[in-house]
Amino acid sequence: MNKKWVLISLLSIGIIVIVIGLIGLNNDRNQDSSGDRSQIITPNNTIGVGSDRSVRMLPIPPLLKDENEDQSIADFNLVVQQGETNFYNDVQTPTLGYNGSFLGPVIKVKRGETVNIHVENELSDSTSVHWHGLEVNGTEDGGPHQVIDQGTLWEPSFMIDQQASTLWFHPHVIGTTATQVYYGLAGLMIVEDEFSDKLNIPKGYGVNDIPLIIQDKSFNKDGSFSYVNNMMNGVVGDKILVNGAITPTLNVSQINMRFRIVNGANGSSFNLELSDQTEFHQIASDGGFLEKPHADHSLFIAPGERAEIIVDFSKYKEGEVINLQSGNKLIMTFVVGGKEIDTTEIPESLVEIKKMDESEATSIKTIELDGMGHMVSLNGRKFDMNRIDDQVELGAIEIWEITTTSTMMGKMGHPFHIHGTQFQVLSRNGKEPNANEKGFKDTVFVGPDEPVRIIVQFRNKGVFMYHCHILEHEEAGMMGQLLVE
Ligand code: C2O
Ligand code: CU
Ligand code: CU
Ligand whose nearest atom lies closest to the CA of 168: 1
**Domain limits of the chain?**
2-32, 73-198, 209-339, 358-484
pLDDT given at position 20: 38
CATH 3.90.550.10 is held by the domain 358-484: no
Q: Whose CA is nearest to atom 1 of ligand 1?
A: 132
Give the count of beta carbons closer than 10 Å to the beta carbon of residue 22: 12
- pLDDT means over runs of 10, the chain (485 residues): 49 42 33 33 37 78 98 98 96 98 98 98 98 98 98 98 98 97 98 98 98 97 89 86 98 98 97 98 98 98 98 97 97 98 97 97 96 84 97 98 80 94 98 98 95 98 98 95 98
- Residue 465 beta carbon below 6 angstroms from any ligand 1 atom: yes
CA of 135 to the centre of ligand 2 (A): 10
| Cα 187 from chain centroid (whole Å) | 10
CA distance 356 to 352: 12
CA distance 98 to 123: 11
CA of 482 to the centre of ligand 2 (A): 13
Cα pseudo-dihedral 178, 179, 182, 187, rounded to 10: -70
Residue 427 phi, psi (nearest 5): -155, 155
- Residue 304 beta carbon below 6 angstroms from any ligand 1 atom: yes
CA of 257 to the centre of ligand 2 (A): 27
- Residue 473 beta carbon below 6 angstroms from any ligand 1 atom: no
pLDDT given at position 269: 97
Q: Which residues contact 14 (CB under 8 A, 6 or more apart)?
A: none
CATH 3.40.50.300 is held by the domain 73-198: no
CA distance 313 to 320: 10
Biggest CA–CA distance in the chain, Å, is 61
CA distance 73 to 424: 30
Q: Whose CA is nearest to atom 3 of ligand 1?
A: 132
Q: Indicate the fold that domain 209-339 takes in CATH.
A: Immunoglobulin-like (2.60.40)
